[in-house]
Amino acid sequence: MNLDLSILDYFQYEFMQRALISALVVGLCAPAVGVFLVQKRLALIGDGLGHIALTGVAIGFLTGVAPMWTTLAVTVAASVVMEILRSHSKTSGDVALAMMFYGGIAGGVYLTGIASDKGVANLQQYLFGSLLTAGWDEVWTIAIGGAVVAVLMLVLRPWLTAICADEQYARVSGLPVAGLNLLLLITTAVTVSVSMRAVGLLLVSALLVIPVVTVQQFTRSFKATMFAAMGAGLLIAGTGVVASAAKDVPPGSTIVLIGVAVFVVTALLAALVRRVRRVRRAHLPPEGEPLEVELPAASA
Amino acid sequence: MPVLNVRGATVSYGGRAVVRGVDLAVEPGEAVALMGANGSGKSTLIKAVAGLVPLASGSIELFGTPQKRFRAWKRIGYVPQRTGAASGVPSTAAEVVSQGRLAHRFLGMPPSRADRDAVTQSLAEVGLADHAHCSVDTLSGGQQQRVLIARALATDPDLLIMDEPTVGVDAETQAALAAVVADRIDAGCAVLLVTHELGPLTDRLDRAVVLADGKVVHDGAPPRPVGEHADPHHEHAHPHANGDTADEAIWGGK
């Protein structure tokens, strides 16, 4: 009882309410995008965009514009370039991506160095998150951005699944593959930009990926994976904020550590379940499936 | 008017012509096999027809429209060379098959009654009605191949393009698939089939086009098997047919 009250006490403070709202929005929308990235085997793209976002933050410092907007502009531009590279080059694509990621970090640190003369630059809070210092304006931006991303992903789920699972087939069925690919990367960029206050640019990718790989150990359909991952993201982010408040540690790292712990526990659990199930066959062969071998006559 | 008309098609990979000046026409309701040894260019030609690789020269017309301006892709059912129906995130057989209906749907709109019926019906046609809600990566290789064929059938095609659909599929399933495809041919669907083996599916052929080294060496009656392939008990080995690995299990499988 005492403990419950003390947790509720934290949320009397407005900054805690703001932190919780932002974290819940990010926890809900990041896996909605992440499920497609995992399907497309682009799970690390969130990391790359997080690196590039650093340059966006630094441009914000330099120009005095809110870093969230400059980050959004830079990551969206970067995602367009990445999609062009990915679709037009065969072998050198990942080298070009690597260059962009290094360049993004270096550019961010370099520009921050220039801006620090003006005494405004603090990269740390963007690298590792600083939920508690977000104002209501920022919370609303996060909420609207997150909602747009989540709605787009939910409405376009079948089309995005098709281009992520089998791009060649999607092309032959006449789907707007290039446009959908671009849309997916741009929404990833938006997600990275709105999530950076919550978990930090270096940890953004964790919220895209961890809820998805955690729940897909138990799900059978894409639809269920998507909804369960969004639920898991919500729970992990919410628990993370509460736990960080109780221990007075940064929320970003707490959220990610809880996510990793949940993944490890479920992976072990799933291995155990598979072990038990192995004796019980899930799929009977279709009617009249032939043996394909001739059994030797039973030896008397 | 042929549903598919390829004239003087040349396709190059890295400066080397893999398909050289091929002419190929498929009439409505006609079943044509594209045959030839590995590396003869048959898969490349079919990818060019599907618009997946560009032509170096020549032209391709689909339903009388030049391929560049062709938009009615929902009239074409495509079965890609087997890479497995499974992927990073689990999907059910019904989810994979419903991809075949997306070309019929407006972007962002829910499936119509007709879409759902087509998915159910094509799963039933390939004998997987009971497996509609199973995750495809728990299905056998042959069952996954049938899921991909059901996906192509779901679009209700006028031209069915299949790239080696029977690789890794047992004889019984091949016969069942041959019956499914024969039904579609009888209903007026044209079929272009890439294969390098003769089996139940090739019995129903009207014509075979044989490629060797990127050129057409035969266009006419389907060839008869020779050598060890003529043996009805001959088992074709395809080491590349299934690339399942166990070490992905901790990540939830493919």
B57: containing domain: 4-224
Highest mean pLDDT among A44-53, A137-146, A152-161, B12-21: A152-161
Comparing A18-22, A109-113, B86-90, B117-121, the range with the smallest average pLDDT is B86-90
8-state DSSP, A11 = T
Residue B214 forms part of a structural domain: yes
Q: Which of A5, A7, A1, A85 is nearest to A244 (CA)?
A: A7
Q: How many CB pairs under 8 A join A and B?
A: 126
Domain boundary assignment for chain A: 2-277
Is B78 in Cβ contact with A290 (below 8 Å)?
no
Query: Which residue has tokens 């089998």?
Result: A166
Res A188 pLDDT > 90:
yes
Contacts of A268 in chain B (CB under 8 A): none
Res A108 pLDDT > 70:
yes
Q: Does A270 touch chain B (CB under 8 A)?
A: yes
Alpha-carbon gap: A285 to the closest alpha carbon of chain B (Å):
9
pLDDT in tens, B86-113: 667 889 999 999 999 998 888 888 888 8
Optimal mutation site among A153, A172, A292, interface B, most CBs of chain B within 10 A: A172
- Residue B14's pLDDT is 79
Q: Does A171 touch chain B (CB under 8 A)?
A: yes
Res A10 pLDDT > 80:
no
Residue B164 forms part of a structural domain: yes
- B 181-240 residues inside an 8 A Cβ radius of A: none
Residue B107 to residue A161: CA distance in whole angstroms: 13
Is B252 in Cβ contact with A40 (below 8 Å)?
no
Res A264 pLDDT > 90:
yes
- Provide mean pLDDT across the span B208-216: 88
Domain A2-277 is found in CATH 1.10.4080.10: no
Residue B200 to residue B232: CA distance in whole angstroms: 11
pLDDT in tens, B117-152: 999 999 998 888 899 898 888 888 888 888 999 999
Optimal mutation site among B89, B156, B160, B170, interface A, most CBs of chain A within 10 A: B89
Alpha-carbon gap: B177 to the closest alpha carbon of chain A (Å):
14
Phi, psi of A216 (to 5 degrees): -70, -10
Contacts of A169 in chain B (CB under 8 A): 78, 80, 99, 151
Res B240 pLDDT > 50:
no
Q: Does A168 touch chain B (CB under 8 A)?
A: yes
What residue type is assigned to position B123 of the chain?
A: L
The total domain count for chain B is 1
Is B250 in Cβ contact with A267 (below 8 Å)?
yes
Res B230 pLDDT > 60:
no
Please give the torsion angle defined by the CA atoms of residues A212, A75, A26 and A162, in that order, rounded to the nearest 10 degrees: -40
Q: Are A45 and A186 in contact (CB under 8 A)?
A: no
Residue A110 to residue A55: CA distance in whole angstroms: 9
Highest mean pLDDT among A7-16, A79-88, A136-145, A153-162: A153-162
Q: Does B127 touch chain A (CB under 8 A)?
A: yes
Is A176 in Cβ contact with B88 (below 8 Å)?
no
* Partners of B32 in beta bridges: B192, B207
Q: Does A170 touch chain B (CB under 8 A)?
A: yes
- Choose the closest CB to A213 out of B95, B155, B251: B251
Q: Does B107 touch chain A (CB under 8 A)?
A: yes
Question: What pairing do the DSSP bridges indicate for beta strands B31-35 and B159-163?
Answer: unpaired
Q: Does A212 touch chain B (CB under 8 A)?
A: yes
pLDDT in tens, A164-183: 988 889 999 889 998 999 99
Q: Which of A161, A166, A255 is nearest to A211 (CA)?
A: A255
The residue that leads in pLDDT, A156 or B83, is: A156
Is B78 in Cβ contact with A173 (below 8 Å)?
yes
- Residue A280's pLDDT is 63
- Residue B244's pLDDT is 40
Res A120 pLDDT > 90:
no
Q: Does A91 touch chain B (CB under 8 A)?
A: no
- Residue A75's pLDDT is 93
Q: Does B68 touch chain A (CB under 8 A)?
A: no
**In what side-by-side order are the strands of the sheet with B65-66?**
B16-26, B4-13, B57-62, B65-66
Q: Does B251 touch chain A (CB under 8 A)?
A: yes
* Residues 6 or more apart in contact with residue A236 via CB below 8 angstroms: A27, A207, A210, A211, A255, A258, A259, A262
Residue A109 to residue B188: CA distance in whole angstroms: 65
CATH assignment of the domain containing B10? 3.40.50.300
* Mean pLDDT of all residues belonging to chain B: 82
For residue A282, what pLDDT band results from cuts at 50, 70 and 90? low
Q: Are B26 and B7 in contact (CB under 8 A)?
A: no
Contacts of A225 in chain B (CB under 8 A): 89-90
Res A59 pLDDT > 80:
yes
- Choose the closest CB to B252 out of A169, A213, A292: A213
Res A142 pLDDT > 70:
yes
Q: Does B51 touch chain A (CB under 8 A)?
A: yes
